[in-house]
Amino acid sequence: MTNRTLLALVLAATMVLAGCSGGTATETTAPTDDTTVEETTVATTTESTDDTTSEPTTTEEADYPKVKTENCKYSGEGDDDIVRESGACLPFDADEVYRNVADMAGVDIDKGPTVNSIPARGTSRYEFSFSNNTFGATMGIAPDGQPSVFVPGYAQPNQNPDGTVTPAVTMRYIGLWNDSALQEELGISYTAEDAEVTAAHEFLHVIQFYQGSQERLAQNLTSEGVNVNDVELAMIEGSASFFESQYQREYMDNPNAMRNFSAWSNSNAYAMKQLGPYVAGSHYTRWYLNGSTENFEKIYDNPPVSMEQILHKYEPDEELPKNLTVDGEVSSDWATPSSSKTKGELFLRSALRSAVSGDEAARGAAGWGQDGVITFQNTSYSAAGNYKTGYGWAIRFDNATEAAEFESIFGEWLEAQGSQNNGVYGDSVDETFRMVEVSEETVVVLAGHEDFTSQATVSGNTTQVVIEHTGETQSDSVEDDDEQSFVAGSGFVRAAA
């Protein structure tokens, strides 16, 4: 595996897309090894409102290296072939790679997928769009510039009426390694070895399809009090990413292959959130399985329940999410608020990373115990032609010490957002922020339009929080269950002495 950087979102423009799994298809890039400076794979199974792809375009030029489609060295023909190939000639034996992955998994399998390989110049290109009208974007989890997507492969289960599957793998950008002009245009260094690793990753997904792994995982996950999408993605793609690293170690003479956790920990906020399930998921899988690929199925039968467990390598029955209920109310002309949704420690860490260092973001998010965010919105367009939106995000930590560390680090985050007026930070009327301490363990972040952050009140205790939009600017912003006032301070709201 070559030392390469497929993407540096911190610097700008190009995004590499990997591992998208929702029970219908998975997409991936080849992984990086420990010498890689910037990890570059980006997940697409985030909130459905955050990211979309537009119609594909293809690169057409008259003079470029041709990719063979006939008389292939590895043709996929013959009685012993289990993988049925079509399209461009692959630079490796797909049957051998597939059988190697099956052997690693300890699976005795006599059926394989179809593989369709597309030449680099015939591969569709996708433009990637991003919506700033989300809670994640409001908290700073957004790309720097307009990214585009590089998708070198994906797998689909193709469900049959009788419940069986007929998996299909699509390999893309074949021959890119011989096309320097296209590599320069894409800003991508993608080798024949990378393509082989992409195939190994996708073949693990094929085995997941045949074994029903993803269905069992979905049945064994709970959606109560956790961000189940991140956890599910971390287990599906994390296990495939672990396999791709192990494949390189066993069959490609790369003993140090592994997604780079240190580089991920210092990536920008958007890359951190998108890559977290892949990078942290692969490291958790290696730890959970004690480095063995043969028993990989047990991670779907007894999976972790939170990103906290995955990030910090806890067993599924350790450090379980704490109790926290979050309710929203309105005593104004704003609409009824949404129900509470859990964001998880990965989201918290990524949001912090948008304004503090990677180390501070990790320390500020550590000790996450539970959270819930509620969306508020007015009922009519503003003068600018938009709805006014606000978010109330309650976060409970494991103990008072962890909560205090978050408050200190989030105080730095607030100061980075701009000027402060009566505890509300921000230079844009649509993006303002306020922090409210509800108890020694529980904190509320108010974010969004200033008509929300300045007019919201918070009441409750460690385990129960109510966030209300009143329609009136508040001086006393918080009350607990004993009616003791919480008074606005210069930096954030804190219990009165």
Query: Does one domain contain both 132 and 273?
Result: yes
Is 461 inside a domain boundary? yes
Q: How far apart are CA 455 and CA 468, in angstroms?
A: 8
Query: Does one domain contain both 285 and 368?
Result: no
> Mean of the pLDDT values across residues 34-57?
35
Q: Which domain holds residue 391?
A: 325-495
Question: 304-337, pLDDT tens digit by residue?
Answer: 999 999 999 999 999 999 999 999 999 888 998 9
Question: 128-153, pLDDT tens digit by residue?
Answer: 677 888 999 999 999 887 666 688 99
Is 5 inside a domain boundary? no
Which of residues 262, 291, 312 is at a domain's end? 312
Local confidence band at 387 (pLDDT 50, 70, 90 cut-offs): confident
Query: Does one domain contain both 289 and 374?
Result: no
Task: Tell me the angle at which helices 213-220 and 228-251 cross, rounded to the nearest 10 degrees.
Answer: 140
Query: Does one domain contain both 265 and 370?
Result: no
Query: Does one domain contain both 119 and 153?
Result: yes
* Strands (E) located in 294-448: 325-330, 368-377, 389-397, 420-421, 424-428, 431-437, 442-448
Local confidence band at 386 (pLDDT 50, 70, 90 cut-offs): confident
| pLDDT score, position 417 | 96
Is 33 inside a domain boundary? yes
| pLDDT score, position 324 | 96
- B/e letters for 66-104, b = 16+ CB within 10 Å, e = fewer, are ebeeeebebebeeeebbbebebbbbbbbbbebbbbbbeb
Residue type, 334: W
Contact 122, 58 (CB under 8 A): yes
Contact 124, 56 (CB under 8 A): yes
Q: Residue 349 pLDDT more than 50?
A: yes
| pLDDT score, position 18 | 38
| pLDDT score, position 23 | 41
Is 388 inside a domain boundary? yes
| pLDDT score, position 80 | 63
Per mean pLDDT, which range of 2-6, 88-92, 173-177, 228-232 is the poorest?
2-6
Contact 113, 167 (CB under 8 A): yes
Query: Does one domain contain both 186 and 157?
Result: yes
Per mean pLDDT, which range of 208-222, 262-276, 329-343, 480-494 is the poorest?
480-494
> Mean of the pLDDT values across residues 2-29?
34
| pLDDT score, position 395 | 98
The phi and psi torsions of 331 (rounded to 5 degrees) equal: -125, 35
Query: Does one domain contain both 339 and 289?
Result: no
Local confidence band at 73 (pLDDT 50, 70, 90 cut-offs): confident
Q: Residue 239 pLDDT more than 60?
A: yes
> Mean of the pLDDT values across residues 343-357?
97
| pLDDT score, position 140 | 96
> Which helix H or strand E contains 206, and what residues bound it?
helix 192-211
- Mean pLDDT, the chain, as a whole number? 83
Is 370 inside a domain boundary? yes
Overall domain count for the chain: 2
Q: How far apart are CA 77 and CA 252, in angstroms?
A: 24
| pLDDT score, position 382 | 65
Q: How far apart are CA 131 and CA 386, in angstroms?
A: 14
Q: How far apart are CA 323 and CA 344, in angstroms?
A: 14
Is the pLDDT higher at 486 or at 337?
337
Is 1 inside a domain boundary? no
The phi and psi torsions of 217 (rounded to 5 degrees) equal: -60, -45
Q: How far apart are CA 67 and CA 171, in angstroms?
A: 13
Beta bridge partner(s), residue 85 = 115
Which of residues 252, 282, 312 is at a domain's end? 312
Q: How far apart are CA 275 and CA 41, in angstroms?
A: 6
Which of residues 312, 336, 371 is at a domain's end? 312
Q: How far apart are CA 495 and CA 497, in angstroms?
A: 6
> Torsion angle, CA of 272/278/279/280, rounded to 10 degrees?
90
Query: Does one domain contain both 351 and 281?
Result: no
| pLDDT score, position 36 | 32
Nearest alpha carbon to residue 479 among 455, 460, 452: 460
Query: Does one domain contain both 35 and 85?
Result: yes
What's the start-to-end Cα distance of the chain, in Å?
A: 59
pTM here is 0.85
Task: Tell me the angle at which helices 228-251 and 344-353 cross, rounded to the nearest 10 degrees.
Answer: 80
Query: Does one domain contain both 335 and 294?
Result: no
| pLDDT score, position 148 | 63
Q: Which two tokens stand for residue 345?
A: 């420690």
Query: Does one domain contain both 252 and 379?
Result: no
Is 320 inside a domain boundary? no
Query: Does one domain contain both 359 and 441?
Result: yes
Is 318 inside a domain boundary? no
